[in-house]
Structure 1
Amino acid sequence: METKDILRGGQFLVKESNCEDIFTPEDFNEDQLMMKEAVSEFVDREIWSKKAQFEKKDYALTESCMRKAGELGFLSVAVPEAYGGMGMGFVDTCLVCDYISGATGSFSTAFGAHTGIGTMPITLYGNEAQKEKYVPKLATGEWFGSYCLTEPSAGSDANSGKTKAVLSDDGKTYKITGQKMWISNAGFCSVMIVFARIEDDKNITGFIVEYDPKNPNGITMGEEEHKLGIRASSTRQVFFNETVVPVENMLSERGNGFKIAMNALNVGRIKLAAACLDAQRRTITESVKYANERIQFKTPISSFGAIRQKIAEMATNCWVGEAATYRAAKDIEDRIELRKNNGKDTHQEAELKGVEEYAIECSILKVAVSEFVQKCTDEGIQIFGGMGFSEETPIESAWRDARIARIYEGTNEINRMLSIGMLIKKAMKGHVNVLEPAMAVKEELMGIPSFDVPDFSELFSEEKNIIKNLKKLFLMVAGAALQKYGEKMDKQQQLMLAASDILIQIYLAESAILRAEKMAKKEGEDNVKEQIAMAKLNLFHAIDVIETAGKHSIISFSTGDEQRMMLMGLKRYIKYVNMPNIIELRHIIAEKVITKNKYCF
């Protein structure tokens, strides 16, 4: 692997990145492109063509498609070769998750639950005997996995679960008793990752529990839940009544369950972002096809400015989400390889610490892309008009399926606050030097601003300067709020939500600019004018979000001269020298998509 300076998680806020140092979808190698084609072909043949059946709650179809995915090796991409997997990198894992998830949320959920939280805890926390026994069967789809964490009284507060594990008198088994809910794949799983509390332990403990309906061992299932979306995803309550589990099936150490759960969520968050990408591509393609075919006032509705605006915004959000997701995926992959190569970490430790390093980015992506897919499907319905409300079109189910993404893997509100909380922790540990840049921004605001007009003649020179200023703005607002509230900052949830909105927009805007710049250097500006337009359009919107979040924060916790100074700083840091023509940018983007009759980037 070539040596390069890999930013630590969260350091994007205080350091500049060069476009050459980030990974983009245009950098997929030949093997990755072949995998992408194989997955897309499978989805078109086995899932997209049967979309209506999934909407009729055909759970057997979901299970059947999962078995076929296993036969083709798609369930084993992230599994080490030693346990029957392909042992591919983190980017490959995200790529497969991306392209296998777009046709229906039902299959996407089954796939994600099995390959992620159903298999990964054993791969990353299991001992050698556990991995040899369970992982090969999970990798092939002979067995399917599920993850039993959530309880009626334990959702976002996962460590408050009441399920108990009691050690037998002979010390050979535990008896698990309790209730779990919203368990994906419960209807056809063979292995469950179950979290329970031993005695009065502070933290829960993880267990590997086998399930055979012919010999249920105290396990009973509730009926299938009737849900807004993901209708063919098996979702049931699971009840444990003194379910006997051998002591050797404890996963990791006693009391380590909360850590397992949290690290599983970090991986799940970036994979959820990836899983929301192809759903957008397919929604955009279906919407554009309809807009080109639908004639009103003797012309295709795709020629109307209002429709073109929607298409441009949908395409931009999808493209930006791709840029940010694959940028972070490669950072994680590089960090894992770095830890492996230093000889100190085992494969398990390298994977765990590599993903944990970018927990901030994982939360950012989960929030941003889940909101993009909801907006995309909503606009898709709008383009279809009355037909979009009908079950006869694919847009109606796409909209319902998209809604769960803002709840999965920790709600977006939880993830927004986590991103800021984790950044503060990293700053306190010295992993991200926030203090010095924040002090420098404070001094800059106290000084006399320069009135020189800079030279922004090069591509993206102004946009990159704005991003640099937006980072200063975040440091200004977050630094002042942290100075005021200190350790009680976590109680100021509305301020943390606003700060996270700024952080999210900075990461996405920078990722998009760097992706477009990298393409322009390689292919020439004239050949990527649509991508340049998307990067610029996204930044314009990011500034709007940041201005609102910044203003609301400043006027909520400051007064007098401090408030006036920060409001002046806000105005300075969001300022354009050359304001872009937004309507023209949208026209450039929409024209390409409409002409190609599909999402084409």
Structure 2
Amino acid sequence: MSSLPKGGSFLFGQTNPQDIFTPEDFTLEHKMIYRTTAGFITDSVLTRMDELENKKEGLINELLEAAGELGLNGADISEEYGGMEMDKISTTIIAECIGRAGSFAQTQGGQAGIGSMPIVMFGTHEQKKKYLPGLATAEKVGAYALTEPGAGSDALSAKTRADLSPDGKYYILNGTKQFITNAGMADVFIVYAKIDGDKFTAFIVDGDSEGLSTGAEEHKMGIKGSSTRSVIFEDVKVPVENLLFEIGRGHVVAFNILNLGRFKLAATSVGMAKFALELAATYANDRKQFGIPIANFGLIKEKLAEMAIKIYVTESMVYRTGGLLENMMDSLDTSGNDGGLVAAKGIEEYALECSMNKVFGTETLGYAVDEGVQIHGGYGFSSEYTIERLYRDARIYRIFEGTNEINRILIPTTLLRRAAKGDFPLQEAIEKLQGEIAAGSLVRKGEAGLVQAAKDIFLLTMGAGLQKYGKDLQKHQEILGRLADLAIRAFAMESAWLRAQKAGANDGGPKAKLKQNMAMVYINSTVGLLEYSAKETLTALAEGEELASLLDNLQRLTKYTTRNTVALRQEIAAAISEDGKYAV
């Protein structure tokens, strides 16, 4: 593990393009999994989307079982317990392809992800043997019950109680959970409750337990085909052997599962965003105004290009992170009884990257579906067109798995916490940068230089925050949010550029040129945003001569010659229109 890059370390050093994983590195097996999953979604789910949205009786279970037959529900489950035990790139591919499936993506994600992964990672052998085979086949449907009416982002303030019965055989659960995916059909719930009112603990609860009931289906803006209900526990008896992991350590289960959930949600966002671009490009090619396809109009070209660029950047981030997770898993010995916990700790190393992927990916999706509607014009507002459903379905992604606001807070606070433990040379990096600026020794040329400038802007701004507030910086959310955006965009810029460089070195064909164009446009158009955000933040952190000095330093970091991004976008749009979809 020591030879692997630490989570967040990209901010403090250079990365060799050949060391990152990209979609161009898919093996034949990965490509087969992609074709199989995408084919299942296209042939079996999208063809029945109207029935699914109208909640046709039994359909969702039928589709889940069909996914189980293909091994999609058990991709993360070991073969010993009826799963496929795939590598992390394969499970990322599945999550991406499932993204096209609308509300089914939430149902299947709840089944294969947060509904089963707590048992995969933290369950005993007996618990795994009892529950995982059924979850893999969808003979049993899983659900994850964490959120409560008064406990959303602040999950540890949950009120649901668990009290040991007088005979010591059961925990008696009382409380209510809210917005629980798959609740209307779940056979197995992962439930969080406080033993004796204070020890936050996870439990496996059978759906047919006496005293367990569900509320009415929520009437949602989107993902209408998925089941979302409240779950009520009234003196529900849970056998003591169904306590998951350890008493008082439910937060370890919850937060580690969320790390993986956030990453997979980013992958799902990539799949859905690609679908939105495909719909928009096809419509723009077919729709004529003034006698020509609207795909030929400059402002439509810009929209198609920008959608593709943001998807390319997100895809680069997601598979780079997937590679980090896979390398981590390869370095660990997970063969023992505590193998799941070992794996969870390994994934936790990249919690920061998981949050960055979640924020960037879901906001890219929001952008893609919004522009997709705009390209469709009035038809985009009609439910007869698929893009209207995608627009509604996408909105929840920025709320799921920890809101984007919560994830933004987590990014800089995680960095600060790890720096305090000595995991990062944060203060040293800040001081080194200050010295280089003072000495006038900074040389930032081309896109690689701008990527480094993005990291430097983050360090400069973080340094000013620490100078003003010290440890109390964690109390200032507006500053933390901007620091998060600086870090996210630095990771996004670097991921896009490294992938383009790797493709150029390994291939050099037209697709490599397209990747390079996309990376260049994103990097050049993002530096200005970083500069503005940093100016705004520094002005909130300093004044007078100190502020003037900081702004002067910032200006030195952002000196660069801009490229003709309008022309580059035209080339990108032409490639997208020719293919009628995202084909990078």
When normalised by structure 2's length, the TM-score is 0.97
**Partners in 2 of 1:526 and 1:281 — Cα distance?**
20
- 1:204 corresponds to which residue? 200
Q: What does residue 211 of structure 2 align with?
A: 218
Question: Could you tell me whether the CA contact under 8 Å between 1:291 and 1:383 is conserved in 2?
Answer: yes
The residue type paired with residue 310 of structure 1 is K
Task: Return structure 1 stretches of 4+ with deviation > 6 angstroms.
Answer: none
Please give the alpha-carbon distance, in whole angstroms, between the structure 2 residues aligned to 1:97 and 1:64. 19
Contact 2:174 2:235 in 1 (8 A): yes
SS at match of 1:224: coil
Could you tell me how far 1:483 is from its partner in structure 2?
Answer: 2.5
Partners of 1:83 and 1:581 lie apart in 2 by 55
The question of 1:540 aligning with 2:492 is answered: no
Matched, 1:250 2:243: yes
Structure 2: gaps of 5 or more residues: none
Write the mapping of 1:155-554 to structure 2, written as runs, cut at 5 A.
155-201=152-198, 203-212=199-208, 216-340=209-333, 346-448=338-440, 462-524=446-508, 526-554=510-538
Report how many residues are paired.
584
Q: Deviations over 1:237-284 (max 9, x none)?
A: 110000011111100110111121111110100000001111111111
TM-score, scaled to structure 1: 0.95
**1:40 aligned residue:** 38
Measure the CA separation in 2 of the matches of 1:448 and 1:314.
38
Match of 1:12 among 10, 13, 17: 10
Q: Is the partner of 1:169 in helix, strand or coil?
A: coil
Output the CA distance in 2 between the equivalents of 1:195 and 1:560.
51
Shift of 1:411: 0.4
Question: Are the aligned partners of 1:336 and 1:353 in contact in 2 as well (CA < 8 Å)?
Answer: no
Question: Per the alignment, do residues 126 and 468 of structure 1 end up closer, same or farther by CA in structure 2, a change over 3 Å counting?
Answer: same
Indicate if the aligned counterparts of 1:340 and 1:346 stay in contact, CA closer than 8 A.
no
Q: Which residue does 2:138 correspond to in 1?
A: 141
Distance 1:285 1:198 in 2: 50
Letter in 1 for 2:82: G
Shift of 1:482: 1.5
Once the two structures are overlaid, the 10-residue window that deviates more, 541-550 or 583-592, is 541-550
SS at match of 2:303: helix
Please say if residues 61 and 138 of structure 2, whose CA atoms lie closer than 8 Å, have aligned partners that are also in contact: no
Alignment-mate amino acid for residue 31 of structure 1: E
| Contact 1:333–1:354 (CA under 8 A) maintained in structure 2 | no
What is residue 565 of structure 2 aligned with on the other side?
A: 582
The root-mean-square deviation of aligned C-alpha atoms, in Å, is 1.6
Inter-CA distance 22–387: structure 2 relative to 1 (3 Å threshold): same
Structure 1 partner of 2:62 = 64
Q: CA deviation at 1:5?
A: 4.6
Residue deviations 1:514-542 (CA, integer Å, cap 9, x gap): 01111111111655221111001111232
CA distance in 2, matches of 1:20, 1:448: 31
Residue identity matched to 2:268: A
| Partner AA of 1:579 in structure 2 | T
Identity of aligned residues (%): 40
Query: What is the alpha-carbon distance in structure 2 between the residues aligned to residue 66 and residue 575 of structure 1?
Result: 54
Look up the equivalent residue of 1:302 and give its one-letter code.
A
Contact residue 83 and residue 135 of structure 1 kept, 8 A: yes
How far has the Cα of 1:579 moved from its partner?
Answer: 1.3
CA distance in 2, matches of 1:532, 1:525: 11
Offset at residue 306 of structure 1 (A)? 0.5
Letter matched to residue 441 of structure 1: L
* Cα distance in 2, alignment partners of residues 338 and 560 from structure 1: 51
Alpha-carbon offset, residue 354 of structure 1 = 1.5
SS in 1 for 2:73: helix
Cα deviation for residue 59 of structure 1 reads 6.2
Distance 1:314 1:101 in 2: 16
Kindly provide the amino acid, as one letter, of the partner of residue 136 in structure 2: A
Q: Which runs of 5+ in 1 are unaligned?
A: 457-461
- Match of 1:54? 52
Rate the CA distance shift 1:448–1:23 in 2: closer, same or farther, 3 A: closer
Asked if 1 retains the 8 angstrom alpha-carbon contact of 2:162 and 2:197, the reply is no
- The equivalent residue for 1:597 is 580
What residue in structure 2 maps to residue 82 of structure 1? 80
Residue type at the aligned position of 2:569: R
The CA deviation at 1:346 is 4.5
1:459 aligned residue: none
User: Post-superposition shift, 1:48?
Assistant: 1.4
